[in-house]
């Protein structure tokens, strides 16, 4: 009865071990052109008796025979180059060996270098490959001329560079140089295609000599490889310690410490022994866990770098994680660590020493904390909450496929779309809702409906999903978490590197979705002005739904800049009324250029804006719109008001995609651009960065009168609007250029 051992091609027979290997190709008949039926040539096997019953000796011989057969088969199948002579093939092989050996020798004696230097060396090899590929494409053989001359001189061969043989040889030599450059590129980054010859030889000797040789070899190397701060076992492991090997496809039994050679052989049947790393004694109070042993050794070889971390300012739970887990940090723990550091104001360069920036931290909490909340719920649902670097790549890919299918309104409400539902449940709910709505709309169609009508019904029944911009944001967030862990050496790989989004991918993702690009308000703004709030149907003359769209349309202010206005922000200079946009008392401005003075548009004065300012001053109010509430997430007025304005437009049938609140500012900016005048004045009004050095350094010379004259060029028909202060002036109020009237109290 024949049984198969772990070593390939090795079989145990009653008479001893047998090496049996099939020929990977078939021999051809002596005369393929001969007439008559061709006999099927059976698959051939090499069968060699190893003449031994000792398993260790049989394994040693089988490994040697395998290497010999691999080389023989490669020579037969891979070197089919009939256009080259044997001496030319020998020259090319010598060229390849020299290219690889010279690079290996140079790297062996080179001093230590940074990762940036290694990447630069790899980039140089990539540039070399580009040149060689261009030479192959164009038939340029000059790059191979000098290397071939040097090889020929070493071999004592004379080359005739004026023959066709030279052209063939030089072309193949260029290919060899290209292949060698590819190998060098990988080696510059520490990647090798196969174990080193020394290692292969050592492994063979260890298998033949037995366990004691393996122990002596591993401990000798460990004493030189492990940092002095780590205890290294130079003899048998002490009690409470276990030898660890990396990687560990299967871990051998603990070595005996009685000084004898007895014990389980390092290569039992059904087990493999692969000491890639030196054996190091890792303290352990419990029986050895291979996974924990592997994590401990990886942390020993590549210890965490926590010198840049403000440990005293982190939460106690995160400090405990960093103290107890040099490896094996869980996904949710990593996300929480990232969020705490960003909340303190740390940048993304975690490998560098940083100082906390409270302003940047506050901005992160206000604008980006939602990404952390999403990550803590979404990723564990799809990939689990295990060790960060051991997360399955297939699970990450499944999560990336599900991410764009999440409904846009997830987490809103408490019934259908609330946060108590899993994301898988929300996706299934959205799919079912789409099917229901599409079927309902199709049922309502009349019998003579066209195909276009059916297509429109299907489109209107779709449930909005996450926009590509949002998907990209969440992908980049979790990838940044992995990059942080790599910088701190808390992990050795970032499995979420697959979440990276290139510029080309981002463009493709956005092109695949329905366009919602913002446009400018046209005559549809008059339909908005005919809605109730602009027709006097309001309870407070300071209703923000009335004033904020008009201010944005006529003065170009941002939504938050309008909603946070205070009576003290209004002033007068040289007879010109203005509003001062500045950062103070909790006010938010987008950038330094956003702090500015903007003259009031005459139409706003005619509608009674200054009357509202006087009213708030008499009331002692600190805000122009005192009843507005800040959002719970970002702490901005616009966070709540945007939803209010959207609901208002939907309720009164004046809602159009792309015509949102910010479109008022976009329209105002367009009016200023359409005037063939100084762009510096437009930037000063809109709060944009100046485009030239004159504007950036000398904008102080722009006076209010110049800005006021430019702003007065913006025309808007508001004759259908009723002023909130109709008690002061009954009837409709039109712009001054139409009726010549001036509103008085």
- Strand, coil or helix: 264: coil
The 3-state secondary structure of 65-80, one letter per residue: HHHHHHHHHHHHHCCC
Choose among 652, 643, 641, 651: nearest CA to 527: 652
Task: Give the residue with greater pLDDT, 68 vs 216.
Answer: 68
Tokens 């507005």, residue located: 628
pLDDT at 615 over 60: yes
Residue 571 sits at φ, ψ, to 5 deg, of -150, -175
- Dihedral (CA of 47, 50, 53, 54) sign: negative
pLDDT at 197 over 90: no
Greatest alpha-carbon pair distance for the chain in Å reads 119
Tokens 């290919």, residue located: 175
pLDDT (mean) for 557-569: 90
Q: What angle do CA 454, 459, 460 make, to 5 degrees?
A: 100
The Cα–Cα gap between 616 and 547 comes to 14
* Confidence label for 692 from pLDDT (cuts 50, 70 and 90): low
pLDDT at 669 over 90: no
Structure token pair of residue 155: 């071999």
Choose among 310, 317, 349, 352: nearest CA to 336: 317
First-to-final CA distance of the chain: 113
For the ranges 277-281, 488-492, 512-516, the lowest mean pLDDT is seen at 277-281
Q: What digits encode the pLDDT tens for the residues 565-577? A: 999 999 999 899 9
DSSP letter for each residue of 193-249: SS--HHHHHHHHHHHHH-HHHHHHHHHHHHHHHS-TTS---SSSPPTTEEEE-SS-S
Q: What digits encode the pLDDT tens for the residues 101-158? A: 888 888 888 899 888 888 888 889 898 998 898 888 888 888 888 888 888 888 788 8
Task: Give the residue with greater pLDDT, 12 vs 716.
Answer: 716
Q: What digits encode the pLDDT tens for the residues 361-377? A: 888 888 888 899 899 98
Write down the pLDDT at residue 699: 56
pLDDT (mean) for 611-616: 94
Indicate the pTM of the whole model: 0.48
The Cα–Cα gap between 430 and 424 comes to 10
For the ranges 271-285, 368-382, 680-694, the lowest mean pLDDT is seen at 271-285
* Confidence label for 483 from pLDDT (cuts 50, 70 and 90): very high
Choose among 232, 228, 208: nearest CA to 220: 232
pLDDT at 277 over 60: no
- DSSP annotation of 600: P
Write down the pLDDT at residue 590: 59
Write down the pLDDT at residue 440: 76
* Confidence label for 250 from pLDDT (cuts 50, 70 and 90): very low
Report yes or no: 731 and 606 within 8 Å, Cβ to Cβ: no
Q: What digits encode the pLDDT tens for the residues 32-49? A: 444 444 444 445 778 888
For the ranges 6-15, 114-123, 135-144, 396-405, the lowest mean pLDDT is seen at 6-15
Structure token pair of residue 398: 């499944």
pLDDT (mean) for 205-214: 46
Question: How would you class 258 by CB atoms within 10 Å of its CB: exposed for 0-12, middle for 13-18, buried for 19 or more?
Answer: exposed
Q: What is the percentage of the chain residues whose pLDDT exceeds 70?
A: 73
pLDDT at 549 over 90: yes
The Cα–Cα gap between 144 and 411 comes to 64
pLDDT (mean) for 564-589: 84
Q: What is the percentage of the chain residues whose pLDDT exceeds 90?
A: 20
Mean pLDDT of all residues belonging to the chain: 76
Residues in the chain: 745
Q: Quick one: angle between helices 468-487 and 331-343, nearest 10?
A: 90
Task: Give the residue with greater pLDDT, 72 vs 254.
Answer: 72
The Cα–Cα gap between 641 and 543 comes to 12
The Cα–Cα gap between 234 and 257 comes to 12
């Amino acid at each position: 009865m024949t049984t198969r051992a772990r070593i390939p091609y090795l079989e145990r027979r009653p008479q001893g071990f047998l090496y049996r290997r099939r020929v990977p190709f078939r021999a051809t008949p002596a005369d393929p052109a001969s007439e008559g039926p061709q006999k099927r040539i059976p698959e051939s096997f090499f069968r060699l008796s190893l003449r031994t019953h000792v398993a260790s000796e049989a394994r040693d011989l089988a490994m040697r025979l395998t290497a010999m057969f691999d080389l023989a088969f490669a020579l037969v199948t891979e070197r089919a180059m009939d256009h080259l002579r044997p001496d030319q093939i020998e020259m090319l092989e010598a060229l390849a060996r020299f290219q690889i050996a010279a690079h290996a020798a140079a790297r062996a004696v080179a001093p230590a270098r940074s990762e940036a230097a290694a990447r630069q060396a790899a980039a140089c090899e990539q540039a070399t490959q580009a040149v060689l590929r261009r030479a192959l494409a164009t038939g340029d053989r000059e790059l191979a001329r000098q290397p071939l001359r040097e090889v020929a001189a070493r071999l004592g061969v004379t080359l005739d560079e004026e023959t066709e043989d030279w052209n063939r040889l030089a072309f193949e030599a260029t290919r060899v140089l290209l292949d060698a450059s590819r190998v060098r590129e990988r080696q510059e980054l520490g990647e090798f295609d196969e174990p080193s010859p020394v290692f292969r030889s050592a492994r063979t000797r260890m298998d033949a000599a037995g366990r004691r040789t393996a122990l002596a070899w591993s401990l000798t190397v460990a004493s030189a490889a492990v940092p002095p701060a780590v205890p290294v076992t130079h003899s048998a492991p002490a009690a409470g310690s276990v030898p660890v090997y990396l990687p560990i496809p299967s871990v051998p039994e603990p070595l005996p410490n009685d000084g004898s050679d007895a014990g389980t052989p390092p290569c039992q049947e059904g087990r493999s022994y692969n000491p890639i790393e030196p054996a190091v004694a890792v303290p352990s109070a419990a029986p050895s866990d291979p996974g924990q042993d592997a994590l401990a050794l990886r942390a020993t070889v590549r210890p965490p770098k926590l010198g840049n971390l403000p440990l005293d300012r982190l939460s106690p739970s995160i400090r405990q994680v960093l103290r107890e887990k040099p490896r094996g940090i869980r996904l949710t723990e990593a996300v929480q660590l990232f969020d705490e550091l960003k909340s303190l104001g740390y940048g993304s360069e975690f490998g560098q020493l940083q100082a906390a920036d409270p302003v940047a931290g506050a901005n992160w909490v206000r604008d980006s904390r939602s990404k952390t909340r999403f990550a803590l719920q979404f990723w564990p649902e799809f990939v689990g909450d295990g060790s960060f670097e051991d997360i399955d790549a297939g699970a990450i890919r499944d999560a990336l496929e599900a991410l764009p299918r999440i409904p846009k309104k997830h987490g809103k409400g408490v019934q259908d779309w609330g946060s108590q539902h899993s994301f898988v449940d929300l996706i299934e709910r959205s799919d079912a809702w789409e099917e229901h709505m599409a079927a309902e709309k199709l049922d309502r169609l009349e019998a003579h409906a066209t195909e276009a009508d059916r297509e429109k019904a299907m489109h209107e029944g779709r449930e909005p999903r996450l926009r590509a911009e949002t998907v990209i944001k969440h992908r980049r967030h979790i990838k940044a978490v992995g990059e942080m862990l790599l910088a701190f050496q808390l992990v050795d790989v970032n499995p979420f590197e697959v979440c990276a989004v290139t510029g080309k991918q981002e463009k493709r993702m956005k092109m695949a979705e329905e366009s919602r690009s913002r446009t400018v308000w046209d005559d549809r703004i008059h339909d908005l002005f005919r809605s109730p709030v602009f027709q006097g149907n309001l309870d407070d003359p300071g209703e923000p739904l009335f004033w904020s769209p008009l201010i944005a349309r006529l003065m170009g202010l941002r939504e938050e800049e309008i909603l946070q206005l205070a009576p003290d922000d209004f002033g007068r200079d040289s007879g010109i009324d203005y509003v001062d946009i500045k950062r103070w008392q909790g006010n938010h401005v987008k950038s330094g250029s956003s702090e500015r003075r903007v003259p009031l548009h005459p139409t706003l004065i005619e509608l009674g804006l200054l009357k509202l300012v006087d009213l708030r001053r008499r009331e002692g109010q600190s805000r122009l719109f005192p009843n507005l509430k800040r959002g719970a997430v970002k702490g901005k007025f616009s966070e709540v008001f945007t939803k209010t304005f959207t609901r208002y437009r939907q309720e009164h049938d004046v809602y159009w995609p792309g015509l949102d609140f910010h479109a008022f500012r976009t329209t105002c900016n367009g009016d200023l651009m359409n005037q063939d005048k100084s762009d510096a004045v437009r930037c000063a009004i809109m709060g944009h960065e100046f485009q030239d050095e004159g504007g950036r350094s000398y904008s102080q010379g722009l006076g209010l009168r110049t800005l006021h004259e430019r702003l007065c060029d913006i025309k808007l028909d508001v004759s259908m609007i009723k002023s909130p202060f109709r008690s002061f002036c009954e009837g409709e109020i039109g712009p001054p250029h139409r009726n010549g009237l001036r509103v008085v109290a």
